[in-house]
Amino acid sequence: MVRLGALGVGLVFVLALLWGAVQPRDAVTPDPVRALHLAPTEIEWSYRGPGNLGIFGTFDRGQLQRGFQVYKEICSACHSIHRVAFRDLAALGFSAPEIKAIAKGYDIPSIDEKTGEPTTRKGLPSDKFPLVYANEIAARAAQNGALPPDLSLITKAREDGPNYVHSLITGYRDAPANWKVPDGLYYNPYFRSLNVAMPPPLAADGQVTYADGTKGTKDQYARDVATFLTWTAEPKLEARKSTGVAAVLFLLIMTGLGYLSYKRVWADIKRKPASI
């Protein structure tokens, strides 16, 4: 009888375990973040080429320049792009004098040669874009405890980076009634914890005026700046693609040649009847 009881208890445990194993996780402990979190919207990027496949496609130089303008006029108040040098901007189609002028607009930390005191000097094309804050502590002190990351590599550092950046900066909205947003944070369903410390950076259409006549809408700003940040993260994207396409073409041609020579080398042997 005791044995039967023990068997029964064991059976209950095993069944409970099996039940737990086959239940979906959300049914056991509902995760409100998962329920509200949204995946980034898929955008057709010019640098991904036909079909958005990412095989062909080049950066649109005009779009890169517009994206740089959006970065400079809005994002650079809080975010650095410290891995990019001013002279790298030549890839965006800026001329040497234009790059010089852009670099000159930035103050670079330096040492006064006469006194040895820390000071600043005007930027040179060979300088990197300066940090916005001296270090993480200064950044957090200025940003209510949050850290605005350096954006040089952000499109590589986040899954589906370019789409994510576009969705994140255009995706602010009112929180649903069942979601609490602490003071100083903003509801954004694309951010991993839904409450982001970055204030909505794109306030309104017309916030940035483009010189090339492109209409300034929030969506356009987001597309342009995300394209620019794709370039900062992978400036050699175009070279990588053309090398890749050339390599695949080469391999295809070599496969064709290999097949033809195989046919030729074996032609005599295959034609003979097997009557030796």
Question: Does 200 interact with ligand HEC (rule: CB under 6 A)?
Answer: no
Question: Does 168 interact with ligand HEC (rule: CB under 6 A)?
Answer: yes
Instruction: HSE, CB side, 13 Å, CA atoms: give it for residue 37.
Output: 12
d(CA 91, CA 257): 38
11 or 138, CB closer to ligand HEC?
138
Question: Does 196 interact with ligand HEC (rule: CB under 6 A)?
Answer: yes
Question: Does 184 interact with ligand HEC (rule: CB under 6 A)?
Answer: no
Q: How far is the CB of 78 from ligand HEC (least distance, A)?
A: 3
CB atoms within 10 A of CB 217: 15
Cβ-proximal residue to ligand HEC, closest one: 75
Q: Provide the greatest CA pair distance for the chain.
A: 99
Question: Does 154 interact with ligand HEC (rule: CB under 6 A)?
Answer: yes
Q: How far is the CB of 29 from ligand HEC (least distance, A)?
A: 24
| Core vs surface per residue 153-170: b (16+ CB within 10 A) or e | bbbeebeebbbbbbbbbb
Query: Using an 8 Å Cβ cutoff, are 96 and 90 in contact?
Result: yes
Query: Using an 8 Å Cβ cutoff, are 233 and 161 in contact?
Result: yes
What's the length of the chain? 276
Q: How far is the CB of 189 from ligand HEC (least distance, A)?
A: 13
Q: How far is the CB of 228 from ligand HEC (least distance, A)?
A: 9
Question: Does 99 interact with ligand HEC (rule: CB under 6 A)?
Answer: no
Question: Does 81 interact with ligand HEC (rule: CB under 6 A)?
Answer: no
Contact positions vs ligand HEC (CB under 6 A): 70, 74-75, 77-79, 143, 146-149, 154, 158, 165, 168-169, 196-199, 201-202, 225
